[in-house]
Amino acid sequence: MKYIIGNWKMNMSAGEIVAFTRGVKKYKIPKNSNVQFGLAVPYVYILGMAKIQDHVWIGAQNVSEHDNGAFTGEISASMLGDVGLDFCIVGHSERRSLFNETDEQVNAKIKKLQEYDVMPLLCIGETEAQYEAGSTKEVLLSQITKAFEGIDKTKSIIVAYEPVWAIGTGKSASVETIRETVGFIRGEIRKLLGHNDTPILYGGSVNPSNSNAILRNAQVDGALIGGASLDADKFMQIASSLF
Ligand code: PEP
């Protein structure tokens, strides 16, 4: 199975979502393509999306690490499970950098999602300074180890390798860098979980011009797509690299 997951971030309106859905439906997806689509949408559109999209996983972009209670403005894992969400992004670099989300919070969020059977999609990645300093593997290992501490190893989780310097910059990592880094992540996750079943995606400026090379040659299980997932044509052109 391969995965094409869009992260809409804080974008889209109800009208734009209808247009996006129409745009996607113009494309024929071959029956044997074995591609699972997913969209991480802003909370307010989740229920509407669930009605108009068949066979597409609908996910959230964040979740509280707390149980239900006095946390004004927060959304719990129990609520995401209650409305039947398929997945939830955890630890996106924007949440880590703009909202000071720590590895400990990321770990708590994964555990809460597992409790309510919403699959976590964990984002990990190094900053440009860490990349330049040659500490990518050390950073990734620390992020994975802390995120996986005490989680249920029998439940599915997806990991996205997203170098922070490649997100929204138009500067994707090279196929060689992705292949090597994803291979490293795969090995470390195998050691931590004791199995090889965790899909690993790449994210960071994936677009229709670089998707063929990345999705076919970088030994990834799919892509997490930000900017290009706002446009139905670009999103489906990227996906068609896998058909
Ligand atoms: C993201 O934010 O997860 C992402 C991959 O963004 P972009 O594709 O715009 O770089």
8 lines ligand 1 (CB under 6 A): no
224 lines ligand 1 (CB under 6 A): yes
Whether 74 sits among the annotated catalytic residues: the reply is no
Q: What was the pLDDT predicted at 29?
A: 87
In tens, the pLDDT along 129-188 reads 999 999 999 999 999 999 999 999 999 999 999 999 999 999 999 999 999 999 999 999
**Looking at the predicted structure, is the pLDDT value of residue 237 above 80?**
yes
Pocket test for ligand 1, best of 39, 158, 167, 207 (most atoms within 8 A of CB): 167
Which residues, 6+ apart, have CB-to-CB distance to 228 below 8 Å?
Answer: 206, 207, 208, 234, 235, 238
Q: What was the pLDDT predicted at 50?
A: 74
Domain ranges of the chain: 2-242
- Which residue lies with its CA nearest to atom 8 of ligand 1? 226
Q: What was the pLDDT predicted at 234?
A: 98
The span from the CA of 243 to the CA of 162, in Å, is 23
In tens, the pLDDT along 209-222 reads 999 999 999 999 99
Mean pLDDT of 93-117: 98
Whether 92 sits among the annotated catalytic residues: the reply is yes
CB atoms within 10 A of CB 153: 13
- Torsion sign (Cα): 87, 209, 214, 128: negative
The residue written with tokens 């190893």 in the block is: 153
Domain 2-242: which topology?
TIM Barrel (3.20.20)
Under 8 Å between Cβ of 156 and 119: yes
Write down the catalytic residue from 65, 92, 94, 126. Answer: 92
User: How much distance in Å is there from the Cα of 70 to the middle of ligand 1?
Assistant: 32
Query: If pLDDT is split at 50, 70 and 90, which confidence band does 30 have?
Result: confident
204 lines ligand 1 (CB under 6 A): yes
The span from the CA of 24 to the CA of 26, in Å, is 5
In tens, the pLDDT along 46-63 reads 999 877 777 899 999 999
Under 8 Å between Cβ of 3 and 201: yes
The span from the CA of 11 to the CA of 47, in Å, is 16
What's the DSSP call for residue 43? G
User: How much distance in Å is there from the Cα of 69 to the middle of ligand 1?
Assistant: 32
Q: Does the model's pTM come out above 0.75?
A: yes
The span from the CA of 92 to the CA of 14, in Å, is 24
Q: What was the pLDDT predicted at 31?
A: 81
- Which residue lies with its CA nearest to atom 3 of ligand 1? 226
Positions of E strands within the chain: 2-7, 35-40, 56-60, 87-90, 119-124, 158-161, 200-203, 222-225
